[in-house]
Amino acid sequence: MFELIVQVLVYGVIIGAVYGLATMGLNLIWGVMRVVNFTHAEFLTLGAYTAYWAWVLIGLNPIASIPLSALLGFVIGIFIFYIIIYRLLFSPDIHSTLVATFALGVALAELMKVLWTADYRGVPWALGVIKFSWFSIPITYVFTFISCILIIIIVYFILYRTYFGKSIRAVIWDSGAAAICGVNVKATLALGFALGSALAFIGGSLIVVYLPTGINPYMGHLYLLRCFVIAVVGGLGNPWGALAGGLVLGLLEQASPIVLGYIPGVEPLSLTPFLSFLILIIVLIIMPGGILGRRR
Amino acid sequence: MSSRAVSKTIAVIIAVIVIIAIAAAAAIVVMPPTPSPTSPPPTPPTTTPTTPTSPTTPISPTPTEKIPSEIRIGVAIQLSGAQVVEGSASFMGIKCAVQWINDRGGVNFKGVKVPLKLIYYDCESKRDYAVKLVEKLITEDKVDIVIHPYASTFVMATAPVTEKYKMFSINFGGSSDALYQQGFKYMVSTHGFAILHYWSTPFTMIKEVDPTARKVAIVFKDDEWGRSLGESARTKAKSFGFEIVYDRSYPPDITDATPMLREIAALNPDILCVGGHYKDGYLIATQLRDLRINIKWVIIQVAVAKPEFGDGLGKWAVGFIGETTWEPECKWEIIAAREGKEYYGPTSDELVEYYYKLGGKGRPSAYTGYGAIAVLVAAKCIEVAQSLNSDKLIEAAKTLDFYCVKSRFKVDPENPAKQIGSINPVVQWQRGEGNKLVYAVIYPFEFATSKPIPMPKWEEKEGWPELKP
């Protein structure tokens, strides 16, 4: 039993870190501009395709493709912000950004289908395993985990040690007061959206390591639901909440099939999403702001 | 009205005109053109003697029925769209079989050789369009027999049309068990079904080569196809005397199978049966590798039988077992001779020869075998019925029991939509000479290209060089 618990913890933390990173962008965008970005699923997918094409065309592995993903995500984020988001941000109808990001997501998914077909693709990147006495971890998973930690440290540095980061945090807390203090709110919003988009792209690139043949135009939706659960459980608007939520979901996904397996007549893997959403509801009732949510 | 209001009105009018123009243009582009029947160039009957014999007793001929100058076989199939790969490959098999029969003069009909004429349309992988085309084949093109498109969902849509017109039809590519539960009276199926046909041959093979194998773990995708495979694995495992130590489904959109695989590893099974589609099968194979879970026999339906499986996994694919429906190496004439049954139609070697002669590229896939058997069964039914009457053809189909290029054909006499004779060969990825990755047929032993091997341990594979496809 001890062996099983260790395996669940190790794999749960590794996959949880990737989930957390994939959700950080969603959380950041919500925090900065109160926009539920439904295009997040397609940003993840585009990140996965970036990793795939980097592998196919120039032989870059998913980790080495992170800078490329980040750059693409940042540029696309800036473009989308100025073309669509900013125009709707101050619309009297609060649902307009929600509908617009949803529509953009559908359009992007269909565009990806036209460009790359709906075929399932994958990156067969393997580097062997680190073998312990009773279990093994693929080296690619370890590298992915280390990359997640490094990116999280970089995001921390950006948010807490740069003027831009301070501006973002100021806008998250009170955009009106930030503007009075001389913060260029429009530029901060744009950069915040671009940073969120870049994080989603990076998350998509890293997911590829765990999904050997699941890259297709609609794959993002598998993760979008998880991202919403993570974001709400961790605390909407707080990037660190995303990490906490990611770890909770990662551990839950690893542990629940084993625990549920003891219940007769239950299909454990199929019941895991139910458990995730049950936890979401419970957390919302007990801590409406999430685990690390902002409390006023 | 202010100038701003006027310009707004003009803008709205322009926008409406543009939208109407785009909609009209889209309608013209999207609307499928009225299809014109296509038929391959007729091949003049040759005097080559017919090689296959037809010992099956013909049903009493209809005296009033005239001998036609040609027998018209209608097909609406996926030659473009999402299922173009499967549809085109199946259609190659159909064309090869028609050509093979016509090269031998045609079908024996009341003492005369009557050539087959293929009338076909591209249904563009659209079910609604396939339904319309099948109706057109029956009402306008007056075909004598209809071959349904590839895939269960398409057959489910087109079969009601053939049934409405009491048209004798053949389902070659629908393998959902629901198909024979619909009460179709004029449809025969040539393809093996999930519940009936899967797992028998790999279990037989394992019983023969490894009598000590006892414990079986079963995992299957939680969709209609996966559940059928799961039910089939459960039933067959019990009938083979195996002990089922794990029997669980996994969600269709599975992204991580490691918790399930860890549980299975703890139970130490001898055989792991995975029932699903390519994506999930491949995921499970890679995660077995990543977790270094060693199981002696791993059977993954249907991922292993796809070339992409070997291409993606390389040396790690070695040892994985799957079932296929046809491979060019299959020589069912050997089995037919052993069992004293009739063999009808081209051999696999001949089919491959026709495949390349008719422009086929690459290695013929299982779908080519699917298509070929449809035509062969149609021809055999006509020869036995000596009639093109659907009632007589279906009666003839019920009496048939023969081998052809894609194993055995025998339907349930009470339900001809239920194929009961089909046999699936077993394949395995192996390490060949010169460090090549080989896709081998390992069962039936009579035409196996290699002997089955238990899955080499992952630690052993680590030391191998990368294998060349």
End-to-end CA distance of chain A: 43
Confidence of residue B12 (pLDDT cuts 50, 70, 90): low
Question: How much is the pLDDT for B15?
Answer: 61
When comparing pLDDT for B319 and B32, which is higher? B319
Rounded mean pLDDT, A258-283: 82
Do strands B107-109 and B426-432 pair parallel, antiparallel, or not at all (unpaired)? unpaired
Say whether both B371 and B457 belong to one domain. no
Structurally, chain B folds into a number of domains equal to 2
Question: How much is the pLDDT for B26?
Answer: 47
pLDDT digits (tens, 9 = 90+) for B121-149: 999 888 999 999 999 999 999 999 999 99
Domain of residue A48 covers 2-286
Q: Copy the structure tokens of residue B34.
A: 């009225």
C-alpha B399 chain-centroid distance: 23
Residues 15-44 of A with CB under 8 A from B: 15
Smallest Cα distance from B217 to chain A, Å: 14
Does residue B447 belong to any structural domain of this protein? yes
Return the closest-CA partner of residue A73 out of A157, A165, A199, A178.
A199
Does residue B365 belong to any structural domain of this protein? yes
pLDDT digits (tens, 9 = 90+) for B260-273: 998 899 899 999 99
- Find the CB nearest A211 among B255, B260, B316: B255
- A222/B262 Cβ within 8 A: no
Record the pTM: 0.78
Residue A142, classified by CB atoms within 10 Å of its CB into exposed (0-12), middle (13-18) or buried (19+), is middle
Question: How much is the pLDDT for B24?
Answer: 55
Does residue B457 belong to any structural domain of this protein? yes
CATH number, position A115: 1.10.3470
Say whether both B249 and B130 belong to one domain. no
Give the CA-trace dihedral at B389, B394, B396, B402, to 10 degrees. Answer: 130
> Of all residues in chain B, what percent carry a pLDDT higher than 70?
86
| CA–CA gap between residue B409 and residue B342 (Å, rounded) | 10
Residue B443 backbone dihedrals phi, psi, to 5 degrees: -160, 140
Return the closest-CA partner of residue A117 out of B85, B383, B257.
B85
| CA–CA gap between residue B219 and residue B409 (Å, rounded) | 30
Encoded amino acid at B334, one letter: I
Residue B391 backbone dihedrals phi, psi, to 5 degrees: -60, -40
Q: Copy the structure tokens of residue B369.
A: 């075998």
Does residue B15 belong to any structural domain of this protein? no
Question: How much is the pLDDT for B47?
Answer: 32
pLDDT over 50 (residue A9): yes
Identify whether B302 is preceded by a cis peptide bond (ω within 30 of 0). yes
- A254/B258 Cβ within 8 A: yes
Question: How much is the pLDDT for A67?
Answer: 96
Residues 197-216 of A with CB under 8 A from B: 210-214
Is the alpha carbon torsion for B335, B338, B339, B344 positive or negative? positive
How far is the CA of A176 from the CAs of A11, A146, A170, A184, in angstroms?
A: 43, 38, 9, 11
| CA–CA gap between residue A260 and residue A246 (Å, rounded) | 21
Confidence of residue A283 (pLDDT cuts 50, 70, 90): confident
Mean pLDDT of all residues in chain B? 87
B279 vs A contacts (CB less than 8 Å): 120, 213-214
Rounded mean pLDDT, B61-78: 85
Mean pLDDT of all residues in chain A? 88
Say whether both B302 and B360 belong to one domain. no
pLDDT digits (tens, 9 = 90+) for B388-424: 999 999 999 999 999 999 999 999 999 999 999 999 9
Question: How much is the pLDDT for A269?
Answer: 82
CATH number, position B266: 3.40.50.2300
Q: Copy the structure tokens of residue B227.
A: 């559940």
Name the residue in chain B with its Cα closest to that of A135: B291
Smallest Cα distance from B248 to chain A, Å: 6
Rounded mean pLDDT, A58-70: 95
Report the complex ipTM: 0.81
Is the alpha carbon torsion for B338, B339, B340, B341 positive or negative? negative
| CA–CA gap between residue B250 and residue B280 (Å, rounded) | 9
| CA–CA gap between residue B192 and residue B340 (Å, rounded) | 22
Identify whether A155 is preceded by a cis peptide bond (ω within 30 of 0). no
Say whether both B283 and B432 belong to one domain. yes
Identify whether B444 is preceded by a cis peptide bond (ω within 30 of 0). yes
When comparing pLDDT for B34 and B310, which is higher? B310
| CA–CA gap between residue A281 and residue A78 (Å, rounded) | 34
Do strands A136-138 and B187-189 pair parallel, antiparallel, or not at all (unpaired)? unpaired
Give the single-character DSSP code of B42.
Answer: P
Tell me the DSSP string of A171-216. Answer: HHHHHHHHHHTT--HHHHHHHHHHHHHHHHHHHHHHHHHH-TT-BS
Confidence of residue B19 (pLDDT cuts 50, 70, 90): low
Confidence of residue A293 (pLDDT cuts 50, 70, 90): low
Say whether both B165 and B182 belong to one domain. yes
pLDDT over 60 (residue B171): yes
Name the residue in chain B with its Cα closest to that of A117: B82
Question: How much is the pLDDT for A256?
Answer: 86
Confidence of residue B56 (pLDDT cuts 50, 70, 90): very low
B437 vs A contacts (CB less than 8 Å): none
pLDDT over 50 (residue B40): no
Question: How much is the pLDDT for B270?
Answer: 97
Smallest Cα distance from A272 to chain B, Å: 10
Give the single-character DSSP code of B468.
Answer: B
Does residue A264 belong to the interface with chain B, where contact is any CB pair within 8 Å? no
Question: How much is the pLDDT for B44?
Answer: 37
Q: Copy the structure tokens of residue B199.
A: 């797992």
- A213/B290 Cβ within 8 A: no
Say whether both B242 and B373 belong to one domain. no
Domain of residue B337 covers 71-192+329-419
Question: How much is the pLDDT for A43?
Answer: 96
Q: Which of B218, B277, B291, B461 to mutate to test the interface with A (most CBs of A within 10 A)?
A: B291
Smallest Cα distance from A213 to chain B, Å: 6
Does residue A162 belong to the interface with chain B, where contact is any CB pair within 8 Å? no
Give the single-character DSSP code of B67.
Answer: P
Question: How much is the pLDDT for B55?
Answer: 42
Helices assigned H by DSSP within B112-223: 127-139, 152-164, 194-197, 200-209
How far is the CA of B124 from the CAs of A95, A120, A234, B274, in angstroms?
A: 38, 21, 47, 32
Name the residue in chain A with its Cα closest to that of B312: A124
Q: How many C-beta atoms surround the C-beta of residue B74 within 10 A?
A: 25
Whether the Cβ atoms of residue A33 and residue A85 lie closer than 8 Å to each other: yes
Tell me the DSSP string of A248-259. Answer: HHHHHHHHHHHH
Question: How much is the pLDDT for A35?
Answer: 85
Q: How many C-beta atoms surround the C-beta of residue B387 within 10 A?
A: 21
pLDDT over 80 (residue B29): no
Say whether both B290 and B411 belong to one domain. no
Say whether both B320 and B362 belong to one domain. no
Question: How much is the pLDDT for B52?
Answer: 39
Q: Copy the structure tokens of residue B451.
A: 């002997």
pLDDT over 60 (residue A93): yes
Least confident of B13-22, B368-377, B438-447: B13-22
Structurally, chain A folds into a number of domains equal to 1
Question: How much is the pLDDT for B136?
Answer: 97
Say whether both B132 and B241 belong to one domain. no
Say whether both B81 and B155 belong to one domain. yes
Question: How much is the pLDDT for A286?
Answer: 86
When comparing pLDDT for A23 and A4, which is higher? A23
pLDDT digits (tens, 9 = 90+) for A191-240: 999 999 999 999 999 999 988 888 989 899 888 888 988 988 888 777 78
Does residue B252 belong to any structural domain of this protein? yes
Whether the Cβ atoms of residue A122 and residue A213 lie closer than 8 Å to each other: yes
Does residue A294 belong to any structural domain of this protein? no
Q: Residue B429: beta bridge partners?
A: B439
Say whether both B346 and B435 belong to one domain. no
Say whether both B219 and B141 belong to one domain. no
Confidence of residue B45 (pLDDT cuts 50, 70, 90): very low
Does residue B64 belong to any structural domain of this protein? no
Question: How much is the pLDDT for B63?
Answer: 54
Smallest Cα distance from B31 to chain A, Å: 19
Rounded mean pLDDT, B433-453: 93
Does residue B41 belong to any structural domain of this protein? no
Does residue B12 belong to any structural domain of this protein? no
Encoded amino acid at B36, one letter: S
